[in-house]
Structure 1
């Protein structure tokens, strides 16, 4: 546990020592400073919904506070994905003035719920080498703010998980409007990763309506393919206990992207989605205009 009488030093002061550099989204800096009190805590404030923290020569402690200019009603959690090099570093979350040690587990994603008007803060604590020989060790993490969207993964014990529950009509319509990716296609292959309790679904899409990142990549047409038509390929994560299987049928895949990975939100059969959407459109209850062609 961090000592109660530690010295707080703002990142702006550390800049005078050329130990840190920051923008609104990312921070990188150094804990190495000859003669600097080892009890010093460098404080960093970030104001974006995603970014990264990189800390080289981690010799004291680092406090990272997230202060995005967002409505808390639309955002539910701050998710952190440590780098593998973070192994051996103590990671604490500050809630209500108290520190809670987070368990270390490789590059496992941790999600911190927003309970109240203030975002939690993260402490990284790394002791300098006992022999005094500093090495060029780099630790850090990536972070994202999770919004309240029906297509987003649910928050499990500490991390992100996809939901296995089928979406109702309202959730399907909302997902079609708010998902990070929406694609029409079929399941080509399913691979199971028992160690992470997840399945990786390979999807062949005939139409990608939109995507925030690069979940689906366009593939050139090949001889022998139907009408030599080009297609899109992508991989989507789901929980292992969802029991996804390879099979026929055309689906509308919708979900969210986090740390470069796609997580499934809703995946109705496309013909069922058309029926739900057209019914809502006739009753003027659709959340947005969806391109049906």
Structure 2
């Protein structure tokens, strides 16, 4: 990663719905240094540009004045061609990636600390193979708790303290079993297919309920879904019941802490008896 300082003229444009923007990268001027600026005011959304040859600067300014967002993540579109992505810090552009961003599902995350709002800068490569509608990305702004949950995908077992925090702060908590584990070398991820006897909560709909299907005989309706984890973690199928926790990013569940349920019960009961539990968790 390197930084460059580029002089340019900004042409302001605000997104209609404040979350998503679709349009042309051209500002209508003849100056190649002119950059179209888009301001988005949500914590998640998408950008899709039709590029005849100029650049786009996307400023992320969520309307949540009291919220502190420490991380910004972007996921380039599946047909990302002929453009480079930068993050702007104090007027300096730091290169995030170019053609390697074509990898389907790849997500790039960076810290967004500082007095200025995060800005993402897309520039078409002069010799790039650019086709209309092929340059774009989805974005998410993460709070400190969400950022911490994302960091927990570090392949090491969670500590007791991390586990007690995970059941309070995770985007999803589900008790269930591992059905299969598959690997995707292109995305460098593993996918764990799980069936859950009990879904405690989830931020969106990554786990779906299947009426009339039981995770184990007599256990009632089952919840099913897929949980992603880095390929380098070498996840393998395991028997027994687990408590899966983690974060949700771009419509996918990512694994955080996943102890065996019986081990979690022992830990939580001891913490509750000592009044060290971070939050109340239903045990029935």
> TM tier, shorter chain?
0.7 to 0.9
Q: Unmatched 5+ residue regions in structure 1? A: 13-20, 155-160
Cα distance change, pair 91–240 in 1 and its aligned pair in 2 (3 A) = closer
Calculate the TM-score normalised by the size of structure 1: 0.83
Cα distance change, pair 224–185 in 1 and its aligned pair in 2 (3 A) = closer
From 135, 140, 145, the equivalent of 1:144 is 140
Mapping for residues 3-152 of structure 1, pairs under 5 Å: 4-11=6-13, 21-32=15-26, 36-68=30-62, 69=64, 74-104=68-98, 105=100, 106=102, 107=104, 108-126=106-124, 136-149=132-145, 152=149
Calculate the TM-score normalised by the size of structure 2: 0.85
Deviation (angstroms), 1:230: 2.4
- Per the alignment, in what secondary structure is the counterpart of residue 279 of structure 2? coil
Superposed CA RMSD in Å reads: 2.9
Q: How far apart are the structure 1 equivalents of 2:180 and 2:219?
A: 21
Cα distance change, pair 217–247 in 1 and its aligned pair in 2 (3 A) = same
Cα distance change, pair 34–128 in 1 and its aligned pair in 2 (3 A) = farther
Cα distance change, pair 242–34 in 1 and its aligned pair in 2 (3 A) = closer
Deviation (angstroms), 1:27: 1.9
Q: Unmatched 5+ residue regions in structure 2? A: none
Q: How far apart are the structure 2 equivalents of 1:3 and 1:247?
A: 51
Deviation (angstroms), 1:287: 1.7
Query: What number of residue pairs does the alignment pair up?
Result: 275
1:153 maps to 150
Mapping for residues 274-293 of structure 1, pairs under 5 Å: 274-293=265-284
Cα distance change, pair 186–228 in 1 and its aligned pair in 2 (3 A) = closer
From 230, 242, 257, the equivalent of 1:251 is 242
Of residues 51-60 and 230-239 in structure 1, the stretch that sits farther from structure 2 once superposed is: 51-60
1:15 maps to none
Cα distance change, pair 49–34 in 1 and its aligned pair in 2 (3 A) = closer
Pick the structure with greater CA Rg: 1
- Per the alignment, in what secondary structure is the counterpart of residue 204 of structure 2? coil
